[in-house]
A and B are shown apart, each in its own frame.
Chain A
Amino acid sequence: MAEARALRWRVAAEWPPTLQRLVWVIIALTLSVLPHAAHIRPWIMLLAAGAAALRLAIEVKHWQLPPKWLRGVLAFVAFLAVVLDYRTLNGIDAGTALLVVMAGMKLMETRTVRDLTVIVFLSYFALFAAFLYNQSLLTLPYMLVTAWLLTVTLMRIHQTTTSMSVREAAGITGKMFAQALPLAILLFLLFPRLPGQFWAVVPPRGAATTGLSDEMSPGDVSDLSVSGELAFRAKFASALPPARELYWRGPVMHEFDGRTWRQRRTPFMPQEVTAVGTTYRYEVMLEPHQRRWIFALDVATDWPQRRVIRASDLQLWSDAPISTLSSFRLESATAYAVSGPLPKAMRDADLRLPGGRNERSIALAREMRERAGSDQAFVAAVLAKFRDEEYFYTLEPPRLDLNSVDDFLFNTRRGFCEHFASAFTMLARAAGIPARVVTGYQGGELNPMSGYLLIRQSEAHAWSEVWLEGRGWVRVDPTAAVAPERIERGLDAALTEGGESLPGSFLRRNALLTQVRLAWDAANTFWNNQVVAFGEAQQRWLLERLNIGDADWEELGLALVLALVAFFAVMSAYLAWRFRPRARDPLAQIYEQLCRKLARRGLPRAAHEGPSDYVARVVQARPELSHHLLEARNLYVALRYGPRSWGPQLNRSELSRLKFIVNQLKV
């Protein structure tokens, strides 16, 4: 097995150089396009792979390259296909697709080193585009190794007549990377960052699939797949709120058609809100989710006014979609009071029920309201019903029919937070209590190493808010009535009771693995905070640390120029040292000095003359020097040709005597 592999490698080493180059370039291109496999259309990958295979076959079988007109037609058709498929050339998706198609088409016509170089350049660009999709710490090593490999390939294809071993090329390029790194870091730290985009582009498509949705229809879901993916992180300036108060408000739903809850397009009149109890200062750091929602602890009381607005239903909206890792400093309260009456538009919206749907439930609600006597008692009665009767919390509920609430309440009786929130809200509306569904996240896991609270997609939640006269909006979580563990201890606990399990729950229970996981997350947090989210604020902080407070553009520019100059100076000095001539033989140096001195007097040594002939000729011309010259010659000849004429045994005293004579020689 090992022998066979060694044989194969030997065969590979004997491939003709053009084939070797081609194979290397194709491998490098493949590695840099691979990260795009998840979000690029399969036909594009197939097209590029086909082009690569065809080109390899041409090389191996010595076929002709396809004629120029055919390549032109193919390239045009491929271009057209991309435009028709993506409907645009703007944005990362279409751009990446076009890049891969172009690389494939270029591969078909590669003949010269220049063509190969262009493909390596396109590969660099593909790597760059991959970063636009994914900036995680996990993929970084892969990207770095691929960039290095691309550079090794670039160096090797430029050895035109002699070939360079992979090891040698890897060594040189590795060294070059190490030397370029300080400059790259300085540029990264010092280059002024611009706030916001200056060219509006289509957000990448693959990125919009996770996270909350802007509508909720519990009856459609028969198997809620729960992802352990991170939604956002939060860091509190002081103590953490208790776990049962960790309600992170997301989209608030008002419109109900009997089956699906939706957000409202038109805003309401805003209400005056005052915090009740403790307020918490914290920072949320949102993973990109391509929506404008900002998840804040129940009700935000302070937020960056410039970029963020708070809607009348208390949801926070960013002014632009969250397409990169973004952080916001917020202040929140977990309870709040609303002064003044409910505006009529909001009351109407939050009481509206579709006609002719869920009629059994509506009748039940009216009956319960009459029996309860007050709104508050009604709410308690509904929660008691969920708690005491046969209702079950599960992530695999049966599908519901058109009258979803009727079906759930009287028939299936199984569901997760969305079912309970939907049913509860509808019952409240039927009883004449204004109510709305709030979606968002509940809970979070504290990472003690970084001090961050991690909120995952699996913590997505839905609950209700009802308007109680005299108290204002009150949060009611019907899921808490059915599965209190869900709220107190998280989803894992809620499911264990019912014999279900979450993917990855094993990881969460094992203590050692938990440590590893949390350490990894701390590293990720550092990475996200310090590198991925590095921006104007961090730059300013860094410069203040370096005692350059209040740096402006000119100063940053000056610092950049200084960094470049320093880089040039260091690089030149280092390379001059690396390429310095080998250490010279001290004896030869002294002899050369002597020859130079005599040459300046018009007596240069002829190329054929040895020391004896030369000195004899000089002595004839300048008899007054004969004493010194003859001694110098004797010393030189003895040192050079004598018994111990080389290395450390060289007679030091004779050498210094010779040096002295040559220095003393006045010509």
Chain B
Amino acid sequence: MLARALAALRRKTRTWARKRHGIDSDPLILSGRRIYIVPSSLGIAFSLMLFAMFLGAMNYANNLALGLTFMLGALALTAMHYCHRNLAGLHIRSAAREPVFAGQTARFRIALENDAKVARYELTIANEHGIANPVRVEAGARVVLDLEVPAPHRGLLRLDSFEITTRHPFGMFRAWAYLNMDLRCVVYPKPSPRGLPPPPLETDTGGAQDATRGDEDFAGLRAFHPGDSPRRIAWKAYAREQGLHVKVYAGTAVTSHSFDWDALTGLGAEARLSQLCRWIEDAHAAGRAFGLRMPGVEIAPNVGPGHRQRCLTALALFDEQAAHG
């Protein structure tokens, strides 16, 4: 009951803070005015204890006991200032995010930089899905924290807002700031289970796109450059004292898959995307070239992680309405 009320209150304050602060710039310096601070439950327990001590000391008119009570009270107030200042002036910067498949957990990486001359302690970031392990940021140092957010659907996952919090030094106070940096993470479609075989390899024997690839037909000689493979050196020509030349092959036969949206008839849009995703992953793992054709998207066959990322991103961001309309 109480927990639910607290959660609701937390949601309310979060939306209120978002309205108040708007979207934050990406490297952000945390100003003192946007840091909130409240006593934690330990802090409330401590204050109750101080109150009991105060009553006892007054009752017995015992000045040393009263002095100890005031000392601890003043110490708690000092701790409050330390807690607040532990956050204020911190630099916050987002780091690169690795794309994930739908159903996995996206990891938003947030860098905390401390340009003060003293260390900051027990800093952590949290959102409604979880909390990172607290870290200590030395003077002039930077620490990267991970914030995990489940990514159930393909597309762009936005990190709604998160908190940066600390309980340093004694856990009696909790200081935090709401941040809304508009961070997004690409979520690829979930690959469908293996089943449907990929379309057969197509062989492109036409005009070679790339003279450096393939090894089918001899195309002539060119002058040697440092770095050329010794196996390609034309030793016969060298023996004829024609200089050092390298054999060049061209007209290479390139085999590649062509993954086509329209070939997947009888499936829904998401199912098609999942299937395409599966084919791309398998082809990439096997090191085969592939191309992608979808309404509004045409990616020529290629290989490599950059190509895979381009194709998967196209799947992730595919918008059926926009493509047909």
Q: Which residues of chain A have a CB within 8 Å of any CB of chain B?
A: 92, 113-114, 117-118, 121, 124-125, 127-128, 131-132, 135, 140, 143, 147, 151, 154-155, 158-162, 164, 172-173, 176-177, 179-181, 183-184, 187-188, 191, 193-194, 196-199, 201, 323-324, 531-535, 567-568, 571-572, 575-576, 578-582
Contact = CB atoms under 8 A, between A and B. Distances in A.
A164 B167 CA distance: 15
A229 to B, nearest CB: 19
Given A121-B46, A582-B116, A128 B170 contact: no
Contacts of B53: 125, 128
A579 B88 contact: yes
B77 interface: yes
Given A135-B63, A533-B63, A534-B63, A581 B169 contact: no
A98 to B, nearest CB: 13
A188 B56 contact: no
B122 A160 contact: yes
Contacts of B79: 176
Interface in B168-203: 168-171
- The CB with the most chain A CB atoms within 10 A, among B62, B85, B121, is that of B62
Interface in B15-60: 32, 42, 45-46, 49, 52-53, 55-60
Given A160-B122, A535-B61, A582 B68 contact: no
Nearest to A163: B136
15 contacts: A117-B42, A124-B49, A128-B56, A128-B65, A132-B56, A135-B63, A160-B122, A160-B133, A177-B71, A179-B78, A180-B74, A198-B59, A533-B63, A582-B117, A582-B140
A324 B42 contact: no
Given A161-B133, A579-B88, A580-B116, A151 B75 contact: yes
Contacts of B221: none
A188 B63 CA distance: 8
B89 to A, nearest CB: 6
B64 to A, nearest CB: 4
A180 B77 contact: yes
A578 B78 CA distance: 14
Contact of A324 (B60, B89, B118): B60
A114 B56 contact: no
Interface residues of B, number: 53
Interface of B: 32, 42, 45-46, 49, 52-53, 55-75, 77-79, 81-82, 84-85, 88-89, 115-118, 121-122, 133-136, 140, 167-171
Nearest to B169: A155
A578 B121 CA distance: 15
Given A132-B56, A158-B171, A162-B136, A184 B67 contact: yes
Contacts of A199: 55, 59
B85 A576 contact: yes
B136 A579 contact: no
Given A132-B56, A176-B79, A582-B117, A117 B63 contact: no
Nearest to A534: B63
B63 A181 contact: no
B157 to A, nearest CB: 24
A191 B78 CA distance: 19
Contact of B171 (A113, A193, A323): A113
Query: Which interface residue of B52, B74, B81, B89 has the most chain A CB atoms within 10 A?
Result: B74
Contacts of A567: 74, 77
A127 B68 contact: yes
Contacts of A324: 60-62
Nearest to B132: A161
Most buried by A among B64, B79, B81, B167: B64
A188 B167 contact: no
A553 to B, nearest CB: 14
